[in-house]
Amino acid sequence: MATLKDFRNEIRPNWCPGCGDFSVQAAIQRALAALNKEPHEVAIVSGIGCSGRISGYVNTYGFHAVHGRSLPTAQGLKLANRHLTVIAAGGDGDGFGIGLNHFIHAVRRNMDITYIVMDNQIYGLTKGQHSPTSATGMQVKTTPHGNIEQALKPTQLALAAGISFLAQGFSSDVNQLVSLIQAAIQHRGFSLINVFSPCVTYNKINTYEWYKDNVVNLDKLEGYQPNDYAAAMNQIREHDGLVTGLIYQDTNRAPYEDSIHNYASDSLSHVDLQLPSDVFAAALKEFA
């Protein structure tokens, strides 16, 4: 049985000290160990950006995709081997900028994968430009007079697109994040966990302290039922998306793979592909 140590490797992350992504990495490793997964049973696909390096920092199968393309790659992996636990990961720019269209279609398709977005409201790898989730008025290198665009609201968009599992976490609350990742992996369908993961170098507005003062934890909200779509949307709108915990879950939708006609129950890696000699000989005769 695998332990937390089995999901660690000797590659040292080169994130800035204090980056929220350290907590996300630790939460993924803890969640996988708690679920009794083995490293060879898991694949992590990441996009481009600071957070995109995470596929190399966890001891599982890993693939570093091009910008905005972690979700198509992750879905291809799942179709090729339905027994893999597939996690896609990236940042807000990767997932909600260049990769936004892939995100919407992954939501409506409902394939059984988990998508973890490390949302820091800025492009950190390229030194501090505004991102799709940067607030209106935010002043950074690309918006010296303040961002004139409205911030994209990932959780509201995901609900509107028909997501079957939606959660939001905060890097400072690792225990909650571990629980959310476990629940997302166990959910049969597409799961999004958007994580408030502060960039300590370039985003001096959305800091750890700012989130602690502004987020509302739905897990502690008395009477809240995450299977209530209308209540989920109301909470998101009331608090401008600044909620954490399990926001919404629909357990009645079948995952995409279950609806594919003649989809093999086993992956190609477990199938005997050797043709009987008489069948092979007959095939050769067709080309004689």
Give me the CATH number covering residue 87: 3.40.50.970
As beta bridge partners, residue 193 has: 116, 167
At position 274, the amino acid (one-letter code) is Q
Of residues 187 and 267, the one with the higher pLDDT is: 187
Does 231 score more than 90 pLDDT?
Answer: yes
**How many residues make up the chain in this entry?**
288
Using one digit for the tens of pLDDT, what is the confidence trace for 123-144?
Answer: 999 999 999 999 999 999 899 9
pTM: 0.93
Domain of residue 45 covers 4-285
250 Cβ contact list (under 8 Å, min separation 6): 164, 165, 189, 227, 229
- For CA atoms 257, 260, 266, 272, the dihedral sign is negative
217 Cβ contact list (under 8 Å, min separation 6): 173, 176, 243, 244, 245
- Beta carbons of 129 and 122 less than 8 angstroms apart: yes
| Alpha-helical regions (H) of 11-143 | 21-34, 70-80, 92-93, 100-109
Distance in angstroms (rounded) separating the CA atoms of residues 58 and 53: 10
- Beta carbons of 176 and 169 less than 8 angstroms apart: yes
Q: Which pLDDT does position 257 carry in this prediction?
A: 93
Query: Which residue bears the tokens 């954490």?
Result: 244
**Could you give the count of Cα atoms lying within 13 Å of 221 in the half-sphere of its Cβ?**
16
| Chain mean position to CA 20 | 15
**Using 50, 70 and 90 to split pLDDT, how confident is the model at 2?**
confident
Distance in angstroms (rounded) separating the CA atoms of residues 153 and 173: 21
Domain count, the chain: 1
**Using 50, 70 and 90 to split pLDDT, how confident is the model at 262?**
confident
- Beta carbons of 201 and 263 less than 8 angstroms apart: no
**Using 50, 70 and 90 to split pLDDT, how confident is the model at 213?**
very high
